[in-house]
């Protein structure tokens, strides 16, 4: 039997870069949120206040993501043999839950406003919404630059918060223009319903992605059956079973399998070759392969039955 544990963790973008991006975006969002709440109350705009509430969840999400990123950066040790990388997945799931709750609250308020609309002072709403578009574009750009070519699920949660808020400001701006042009105050709660729909879509994506990690499903884009067929088709491999492919945290896929090779083959060299194959083709560098030789074929034992059985039987020469 041969075992191997390859511990080259691949986490995609630099954690330090992600933390710097989260800090910058958080500062920007907090500054604008104060102004938005003030104008929203004065203008009696539900769309603006719902955006402000979402910006509060943005700020909370960014703060939680910062804490999670710091925890994930701690080295593995003690009972936490994988480290605290899944703190980032908890953060992403929390973001999904807050988006879901917020969307429900907005829907309830919007339906109430549709039945009994309030007078909306649309001009300040339009000004703040346009400013919000600029602020959220800047925050989204900061997070996008901080993620490099790919982003962790933790940063993805914060990014989706910002992007959905951007869409919300766009809907609010359109509603303000409609109210200014036509006096149709129900455009404000209608815009709120659109915002709620966007939040629901973002919440579903985050909850699904984080749930897959917690349920230890194979990472998106990796097909365990294809991996199994590739390993089994390698020269010298007789059988592959107990194959497991999962994601410890964002950018950290792992694989374990029991591999049976031909009797007499160099199992250690085959194991190293299979590791290279999995790393090169499927980009999985954390592998645990148990490699055994198949049982050597044995000649069938022939027994002659004598009238008086001998004391012992031996394999015929």
**Does one domain contain both 146 and 254?**
no
Residue-level pLDDT at 39 = 76
Q: Are residues 52 and 177 in the same domain?
A: yes
Higher pLDDT, 311 or 111: 111
CATH of the domain at 62: 1.20.1510.10
DSSP SS3 for 117: coil
Residue at a domain's end among 147, 179, 214: 214
Does 181 map to a domain? yes
**Paired tokens of 28:** 């920007």
pLDDT (mean) for 251-257? 89
Query: Residue 302 domain-assigned?
Result: no
Please tell me whether residues 119 and 39 are part of one structural domain.
Answer: yes
Considering the domain architecture, whether residues 25 and 172 belong to the same structural domain is answered as yes
Q: What is the mean pLDDT of the chain?
A: 79
6 falls within a domain: no
Residues 111 and 253 both lie in one domain: no
Report which of 123, 114, 111 is spatially closest to residue 176, judged by C-alpha positions.
123
Is 306 inside any structural domain? no
Q: Are residues 135 and 241 in the same domain?
A: no
Measured from the Cβ of residue 70, the count of other Cβ atoms closer than 10 Å reads: 13
Q: What is the pLDDT of residue 274?
A: 94
- Other CB atoms within 10 Å distance of the CB of residue 95: 30
- pLDDT, residue 6, reads 43
- Of 5, 9, 1, give the one whose Cα is nearest residue 258: 1
Q: Which domain holds residue 256?
A: 224-293
| Domain presence at residue 115 | yes
Q: Please indicate, yes or no, whether residues 141 and 248 belong to a single structural domain of this protein.
A: no
Domain edge (last residue) among 214, 240, 269: 214
Task: Kindly report the CATH number assigned to the domain that includes residue 270.
Answer: 3.30.70.1350
Whether 313 is covered by a domain: the verdict is no
> What is the percent of the chain where pLDDT is above 70?
84
Give the tens place of pLDDT for each residue, 146-197.
655 556 777 777 788 788 878 888 888 888 899 899 988 888 888 888 888 8
Question: Given this model, what pLDDT does residue 32 score?
Answer: 82
Secondary structure tally for the chain: helices H, strands E: 8, 3
Boundary residue ending a domain (189, 214, 239)? 214
DSSP code string of 173-229: HHHHHHHHHH--TTHHHHHHHHHHHHHHHHHHHHHHHHHHHHTTPPPTT--HHHHHH
Which tops the pLDDT comparison, 122 or 83?
122
Residue 240 has pLDDT above 80, yes or no: yes
Number of domains the chain is built from: 2
């Amino acid at each position: 039997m041969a075992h191997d544990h390859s511990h080259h963790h691949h986490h995609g973008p630099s954690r330090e870069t992600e933390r710097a991006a989260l800090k910058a975006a958080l500062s920007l969002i907090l500054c604008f949120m104060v102004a938005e709440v003030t104008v929203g109350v004065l203008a009696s705009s539900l769309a603006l206040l719902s955006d402000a509430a979402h910006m509060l969840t943005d700020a909370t999400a960014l703060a939680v993501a910062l804490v999670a990123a710091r925890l994930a950066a701690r080295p593995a040790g003690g009972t936490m043999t994988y480290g605290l990388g899944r703190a980032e997945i908890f953060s992403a799931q929390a973001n999904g839950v807050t988006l879901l709750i917020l969307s429900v609250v907005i829907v309830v308020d919007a339906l109430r406003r549709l039945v009994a609309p309030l007078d909306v002072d649309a001009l300040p709403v339009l000004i703040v919404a346009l400013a919000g578009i600029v602020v959220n574009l800047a925050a989204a750009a900061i997070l996008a630059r901080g993620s490099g070519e790919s982003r962790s699920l933790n940063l993805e949660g914060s990014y989706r918060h910002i992007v959905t808020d951007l869409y919300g400001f766009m809907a609010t701006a359109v509603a303000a223009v409609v109210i200014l042009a036509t006096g149709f105050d129900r455009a404000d709660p209608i815009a709120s319903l659109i915002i709620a729909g966007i939040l629901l879509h973002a919440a579903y994506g985050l909850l699904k992605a984080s749930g897959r990690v917690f349920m230890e499903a194979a990472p998106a884009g990796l097909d365990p059956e294809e991996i199994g067929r590739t390993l089994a088709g390698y020269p010298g491999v007789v059988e592959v079973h107990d194959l497991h492919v999962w994601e410890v945290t964002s950018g950290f896929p792992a694989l374990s399998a029991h591999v049976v090779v031909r009797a007499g083959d160099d199992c250690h060299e085959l194991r190293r070759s299979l590791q290279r194959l999995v790393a090169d083709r499927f980009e999985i560098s954390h592998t645990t392969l148990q490699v055994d030789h198949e049982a050597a074929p044995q000649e069938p034992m022939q027994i002659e039955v004598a009238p008086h059985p001998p004391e012992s039987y031996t394999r015929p020469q």
